[in-house]
Amino acid sequence: MKVLILGGDGYIGWPTTMKLSAAGHEVLAVDNYMRRRLMREVDCEALLEVPNLDARARLWKERSGNDVAVRIGDLNDWSFISSVFEDFRPDAIIHYAEQPSAPYSMMDRTAARLTLDNNLGVTFNVIQAMAEYTPDAHLVKLGTMGEYGTPNIDIEEGWIDIEHKGRSGRFLFPRAAGSLYHTTKVLDTDLLWFYVRVWGLRVTDLMQGPVYGLSTDETGEDDQLFPFLNYDEIFGTVLNRFMVQAAAGYPLTVYGKGGQTRGYLHIKDALQCVQLAVENPVEKGELRVLNQFVETFSVNDLAERVRASGERLGLDVTVKSLPNPRKEMEDHYYNPVHTGLLDLGLQPNKLTDATMDEMMQLVLCYREQIVQERIFRGVAWKK
């Protein structure tokens, strides 16, 4: 299958590129290095230096024998994205090409506007390019579980049947996201659902939870093939951050009461899920929504797991509750359905002690490179 990966340089983009290439697909990875630019601008560069996308494609070719094509450019620019679609004519498109950080989107007006313009603009262009060049292709779009927020009812898989005053209907499950970044994913879903209805596109919208981990089947131990490991509050996901904090002897930064509960998954499972979605396309005119996570944890659960892993490895890990810079519930109901990907064949990798310790040991190899000032700065949701 010809698979176009938009945002192929990212934390999940690059591992996906290798995974689908290893699975025998013809892969073109596209990126504009926006995340690298933003990480540099806000002084939140990743723990390990990561070679550029062309360099990584060459390393991957040496290691696996597989060719991966690369194009660098801005997908929000129609002249670029249209040439990508016209030349490559993908069967499937994986769309990761978004500004991925919630705190970044709340930093200031300029960062918020960049997030809105980039994320909506690229999604719009992808829709238009599909309609123009590959109307039968299947779009696999990365959304987020954060689109739903933390409602007081069970979160269904994208859709909900509502009985109301003796009549019934099926609707998108109501969304209420917790940051502007997450809200742009809600807007993406609305936009995709509209064009699926009027133009009969094929779309899978993946509601992904926070991802953790660094090594995949394709990276092996080769740190030149690892994706970005961000440990800062802006681009780092919570478990990755806690691991690095523990390795650095920095108290784990729990926000508020720490009862915030989310659905998590290992990066290997994120890749499995995306591959399953790509290899099981939907019909024309269908928007399939899949809740993409393996198990739920509260922030306190994760802090305790990291503390225990540290103890097993001889580290003295402390936990520090900070005033919550975000606006979110710290103690809430959370029960999301997540059977769709299991039905497609997902074999979950749970967060075992062995996984924790393996990841912690990996991080400890690079502890000298941790810059403590990058860990926390308290980007506030309040205006």
Binding stretches for a copy of itself (CB under 8 A): 78, 109, 112-113, 116-117, 120-121, 124, 128, 131-132, 135, 151-154, 160, 162-165, 167-169, 171-172, 174-177, 180, 183, 186-187, 190-191, 193-194, 197-199, 327, 333, 381-383
Residue 96 appears among annotated catalytic residues: no
Q: Give yes or no: 185 in active site.
A: yes
Catalytic position from the list 96, 181, 212, 231? 181
Q: Which is nearer to a copy of itself, 24 or 169 (CB)?
A: 169
Q: Give the number of other Cβ atoms within 10 Å of residue 89's Cβ.
A: 12
Contacts of 114 (CB under 8 A, 6+ apart): 99
In this structure, the number of other CB atoms found within 10 A of the CB of residue 317 comes to: 22
CA pair distance 262, 293, nearest whole angstrom: 9
| Cβ distance to a copy of itself smaller for residue 310 or 336 | 336
Please state, in angstroms and rounded to a whole number, the distance separating the CA atoms of residues 17 and 24.
11
Helix or strand or coil: residue 13?
Answer: helix
Q: How far apart are CA 334 and CA 337, in angstroms?
A: 10
Q: How far is the CB of 275 from a copy of itself (least distance, A)?
A: 29
Going by C-beta distance under 8 Å and a sequence separation of 6 or more, which residues neighbour residue 283? 202
Q: Are 281 and 92 in contact (CB under 8 A)?
A: yes
Identify the active-site residue in 16, 123, 144, 261: 144
State CA 108 to chain mean position distance.
22
Nearer to a copy of itself, 127 or 302 (CB): 127
Q: At what angle do helices 353-365 and 299-312 cross, to 10 degrees?
A: 70
Question: Least distance to a copy of itself from the beta carbon of 31, Å?
Answer: 22
Tokens of 307: 């503390």
Q: How far is the CB of 245 from a copy of itself (least distance, A)?
A: 26
**Residue 366 annotated as catalytic:** no
Catalytic residue among 185, 216, 231, 237: 185
For the CB of residue 4, give the shortest distance to a copy of itself in the complex, in Å.
19
Supply the DSSP symbol for 48. S
**Which of residues 102 and 274 has its CB atom nearest to a copy of itself in the complex?**
102
* Comparison of 47 and 192: residue with beta carbon closer to a copy of itself: 192
CB 8 within 8 A of CB 31: yes
Least distance from C-beta 142 to a copy of itself, angstroms?
18
Cβ neighbour number for residue 67 with a 10 Å cutoff: 11
Tracing tokens 């290899």 back to the chain, one arrives at 279
Minimal distance, residue 169 CB to a copy of itself, in Å: 4
Q: Catalytic residue positions?
A: 144, 181, 185
